[in-house]
Amino acid sequence: TTGSPRPIQDPPSFFIFLKQLDQIIIHQQVELLEAILGTETSSKYEIKNHLGQRVYFAVEENDCFDRKLCSPLRSFTIRIADSTGREVIRVIRPLRCNSCCFPCFLQELEVQSPPGTIAGYVVQNWDPFLPKFTIQNESKEDVLKIIGPCATCGCFDDVDFEVKALSEMTTIGKISKYWSGFVNNVFTNTANFGIQVPVDLDVRIKAVLIGACFLIDLMFFENSLDGL
């Protein structure tokens, strides 16, 4: 049928590229108006390989009212496109409370890749001490865990969220917030993240981990540079 998503056995070409990556860098672009006036605009990101070469663009779409009033609580859709402008991943986050005091309203994020086809979910787990998330596949089956540090403000030290097996005993990768700059002369003090995973990890789960990175940024780091 015209317009139908490709079947799983025929992965889109961008999956083939993503399959080759074991390191993904996400760098926020700061708009000139935002930098000068402090006026926050819709976030734009570059997604790069380990050499700092751009492979995807990402743009956050949300309502200006949501951004100003709800800030880290806001709903959003992030559209990720390749160099041709074709949207390849879509990250959708509904408006939800962001507080450990309300475990019935924990974060949940949906990742589609290609758009219209569920790749998986990121689900926050309640824990009184540590940031914890579960990575789920398209059938909502648990695949991996993400566990962050007790304190996410590291006084400009890098902050690591470990990607673990479901048992939480084995670490297979990490999502890192880089303060000091991961690639020399490439980054400034904006949202800079790195994802390190096994190269043979399911490509759809890699896409879901990119979504997890955006959620972690919004929940723990969006206002961390205020006043600088």
Residue 99: the pLDDT is: 52
pLDDT at position 101: 52
What pLDDT sits at residue 175? Answer: 96
- The per-residue pLDDT for 181 is 46
Q: What is the pLDDT of residue 65?
A: 44
What's the confidence (pLDDT) of residue 121? Answer: 98
- The pLDDT, as a whole number, for residue 106 is 81
Catalogue the E-assigned strands of 62-216. 76-81, 87-93, 108-112, 118-125, 132-137, 142-147, 159-164, 171-177, 192-196
| pLDDT block averages, 10 residues each, the chain of length 228 | 43 74 86 48 83 88 53 76 90 69 72 94 91 96 95 70 96 86 45 89 95 89 50
Q: State residue 172's pLDDT score.
A: 97
What's residue 202's pLDDT?
94
